[in-house]
A and B are shown apart, each in its own frame.
Chain A
Amino acid sequence: MRHLRGVLPRRLHPGVEMKAAAVEIRRELMKGNVAICLGAIAAGCRFYYGYPITPQNDIPEYMSTHLPTMGGTFLQAESEVATINFILGTAASGKRVMTSSSGPGISLMQEGLSYMAGSELPAVIVNISRSGPGLGGIAPSQGDYFQAVKCGGHGGYRMPVLAPHSVQEMYSLTMRAFDLADKYRNPAMVLGDAIVGQMKEPFTPVPYEPSVPPEKPWALTGCKGRPRQNVKSLYLKDNAIEVHNWKLFRKYERMREEEVLFERFRLDGATIAIVAFGTAARVCKTAIQWARQEGIPAGMLRPVSLFPFPSAQVDEAAEAADVVLVVEMNTGQMVEDVRMSTRHHDRIRFLGKPCAMPTPEEILGEIRTLAGKRP
Chain B
Amino acid sequence: MKSPGKERFSRQMFDRPKSLVDVRTHFCPGCHHGIAHRILAETIDRYDLREKTIGVACVGCSVFLYDYIDVDVAEAPHGRAPAVATGVKRAQPDKFVFTYQGDGDLAAIGTSEIIHAANRGENITVLFVNNTTYGMTGGQMAPTTMLGQRTSTSPYGRDFRNDGYPIKMAELLATLEGTAYSARVATSTPAQIRKAKEAVRKAFEMQIREMGFSIVEFLSTCPTNWGMKPLEAQERVLGEMSEYFPLGVYKERTQADFV
Binding site for B on A (CB under 8 A): 47, 49, 73, 75, 77-79, 81-83, 85-95, 97, 111-112, 115, 119, 220-225, 228-234
Contact = CB atoms under 8 A, between A and B. Distances in A.
A112 B80 contact: yes
Interface in B72-119: 72-77, 80, 83-92, 95, 112-113, 116
Interface in B20-66: 50-54, 56-57, 63, 66
A240 to B, nearest CB: 14
Contacts of B52: 222, 224
15 contacts: A75-B86, A85-B113, A86-B84, A88-B83, A89-B89, A89-B91, A92-B84, A111-B77, A221-B72, A221-B92, A222-B53, A223-B71, A225-B51, A228-B70, A230-B66
B54 A222 contact: yes
A222 B95 contact: yes
B160 to A, nearest CB: 28
B87 A234 contact: no
A88 B66 contact: no
A77 B86 CA distance: 10
Interface string B110-143: 0011001000000000000000000000000000
B90 A223 contact: no
Contact of B72 (A85, A87, A90, A230): A230
B8 to A, nearest CB: 35
Given A82-B113, A230-B66, A90 B51 contact: no
B129 to A, nearest CB: 18
A92 B83 contact: no
B50 A223 contact: yes
Contacts of A111: 77
A87 B87 contact: yes
Contacts of B74: 88-89, 92, 119, 220, 230-232
Contact of A220 (B73, B90, B112): B73
Given A228-B72, A231-B74, A93 B63 contact: no
A20 to B, nearest CB: 22
Contact of B80 (A73, A81, A233): A81
Contacts of A49: 87
B85 A89 contact: yes
Given A88-B87, A221-B92, 10 more contacts: A85-B76, A85-B113, A89-B88, A92-B74, A97-B91, A222-B52, A223-B70, A230-B72, A231-B75, A232-B75
Given A92-B87, A93-B91, A85 B71 contact: no
Interface of B: 50-54, 56-57, 63, 66, 70-77, 80, 83-92, 95, 112-113, 116
A166 B27 CA distance: 56
Nearest to B50: A223
Interface centre among A83, A89, A115, A119 (most CB of B within 10 A): A89
Contacts of A90: 87-88, 90-91
A234 B57 CA distance: 11
Nearest to A119: B75
Interface centre among A85, A86, A93 (most CB of B within 10 A): A85
A91 to B, nearest CB: 7
A81 B113 CA distance: 9
A191 B244 CA distance: 51
A316 B79 CA distance: 48
A85 B53 CA distance: 19
Contact of A93 (B50, B66, B71, B92): B92
Contacts of B75: 115, 119, 230-234
Nearest to B56: A89
Contacts of A93: 54, 87-88, 91-92
A230 B87 CA distance: 16
A219 to B, nearest CB: 9
Contacts of A89: 56, 74, 83-91
A143 to B, nearest CB: 26
Contacts of B66: 228, 230, 232
A228 B91 contact: no
A232 B91 CA distance: 18
A93 B91 CA distance: 7
Contact of A223 (B72, B76, B112): B72
Nearest to A87: B87
A92 B77 contact: no
A79 B92 CA distance: 22
A252 to B, nearest CB: 22
A220 B75 CA distance: 11
B176 to A, nearest CB: 13
A227 B83 CA distance: 25
Interface centre among A75, A83, A95, A221 (most CB of B within 10 A): A221
Contact of A88 (B50, B53, B73, B76): B76
Nearest to A231: B74
Contacts of B53: 222
Contacts of A73: 90-91
A79 B54 CA distance: 24
Contacts of B113: 78, 81-82, 85
B72 A222 contact: yes
A163 to B, nearest CB: 27
Nearest to B72: A220
Nearest to B116: A78
A91 B51 CA distance: 19
B40 to A, nearest CB: 14
